[in-house]
Amino acid sequence: METIHIYHTNDVHSHLENWPRIEKFLKQRKTHHQKHKEEILLFDIGDFIDRWHPYSEATKGKGNIQLLNECEYNAITIGNNEGINLPYDDLDHLYDEAHFDILTANFYKKNQVYPSWVKPYKIYPTKNGTRIGVIGVTANFAHLYELLGWKLTDPIMELKRWLPSLKEQSDIIICLSHLGLQDDEKIASEFQEIDVILGAHTHHYFEKGQLVGETLLGAAGKYGYLMGHVTLKLNDQKQINDKKAIVYEVKDLPEAANEQEQIQAFLSLGKERLSQKVTTLQVPLLNDPYKETNFSRLLCSSLKEWCKSDIAMINAGLLLGSLSGDVTEYDLLTICPHPINPCVVELTGREFKNILSETQDENLPHKQIKGLGFRGDVLGIFVYEGILVQDGRIFMNGKPLGMEEKYTLAMPDMFTFGHFFKEVIPSKQKNYFLPEFLRDLLKWKLQQMS
């Protein structure tokens, strides 16, 4: 019997406070399995990088790649945080020093050719001659990738394209899927030749895996809280006799030597590299998620000016602190860590009035938000630029609102993903501004003011 151990991480999102313990565990397991002449493979299923962390922001993700190298990962697939949160050149050179394979079958350059650093799949032979075929796919945010200069294709189409040849060359097939649970279940039902799907994107996890037909699904949640482990046992004909999946609670793993020092070092190095001064403020910019302040008005006016829109709207919860005196790039990251881009939609006056009415819900500012690129806690009140409500009447840049007149509204892109303003926004054409984040707009405006 041959035993193959597969360890996997996903959606770590630069939560490097958990990394020293994960690294120690993986190195110990590798030594253990090699001693017992058992095969070990190590995969990351995307969103390992998140630019909220100073170390990831300062190194544009390359520091994260070094961490994967040190643990001797075999392969990764790209998550949307790698794919659409880095400018083209930064992503194109992100993996220059990678010692592992980047497997993403539906990720191309605009000419429909794979970048030199991407493969659709790879075969990993074991010492016993078992051929393990591994293919990767990522979430199909085609429009956003296109704005950055890439070409994304339908992941299901790519699986149909590559799996026949992969099956011919492999005894076992593993799919690294940064698509989400619903798509993973669909793939398991449709492509029964896949033995294991390691999932990500929707931050789901399975304590003991999940079987869909004969396909085993494994996933390890988010933020490095969990570590996934799939065990495959094969007979002499290289067929799987037994397969199981478990997860380990990282907080329960043995503490790494100098763990707190390592965690602090990630933060300190990032802070040092982001110490460049942006401006010096003569008047503090104050933040309060439940009140309109000079800081929230500045962000909103910067958004309107950058996008050249008629009006703009933000939520005050985007700002996580105040600024005063000397302001550095680290300060801007600290108070605005979100990978959120500007976006413009065109609305009629009537449609905007409906949105305005929704934002006046007194419970909305206290709403806690997870995901959508938001890295804060509460939504906060809504702040507007170019809009005045007086005695029940709405004015756009000093003129009464025209119900059938069309206006361009600039807003954070988090409001365009279908979770807010469902009666109006989802059906609208969206003009996303990439690769700039909101903190880039703040930097631009502060430097312009100084």
Q: Looking at the DSSP assignment, which residues form a beta bridge with residue 249?
A: 226
Q: Is 23 helix (H, G, I), strand (E, B) or coil?
A: helix
* Secondary structure of residue 328 in the 3-state scheme: strand
Tell me how far the alpha carbon of residue 206 is from its chain's centroid.
20
Side chain identity at 148, as an amino acid letter? L
Cβ atoms within 10 Å, residue 129: 9
**What residue ranges of the chain have pLDDT lower than 70?**
none
Closest to 287 measured CA to CA, from 333, 312, 319, 325 = 319
Query: Quick one: how far is CA 363 from the chain centroid?
Result: 28
What residues have CB less than 8 Å from 68, skipping those under 6 apart?
44, 48, 76, 98, 100
| Angle between helix 294-307 and helix 438-449 axes, rounded to 10 deg | 100
Q: What does the pLDDT look like over 375-403, one tens digit per residue?
A: 999 999 999 999 998 888 999 999 999 99
**Number of other residues whose CB lies within 10 A of the CB of residue 418:** 10
* Contact between residue 323 and residue 290 where contact means Cβ atoms under 8 Å apart: no
pLDDT for 166 equals: 97
For residue 325, list its beta bridge partners. 281
Q: How many CB atoms lie within 10 A of CB 231?
A: 15
User: In whole angstroms, what separates CA 427 from the centre of its chain?
Assistant: 24
Rounded CA-CA distance 336/320 in Å is 6
pLDDT for the residue 130: 96
CA separation, residue 191 to residues 104, 109, 215, 243 (Å): 17, 27, 9, 18
Within 10 angstroms of residue 214's Cβ, the number of other Cβ atoms is 12
**Residue entry with tokens 């680290």:** 330
**Residue 255 carries which DSSP code?**
P
pLDDT at residue 390 in the model? 87
DSSP-derived letter for residue 432 is E
CA angle in degrees (0–180, nearest 5) for 316-370-222: 140
Query: Looking at residue 422, what is its pLDDT?
Result: 87
Burial pattern 377-403, b for ≥16 Cβ within 10 A else e, equals ebbbbbbbbbbeeeeeebebeeeebee
pLDDT score for 419: 81
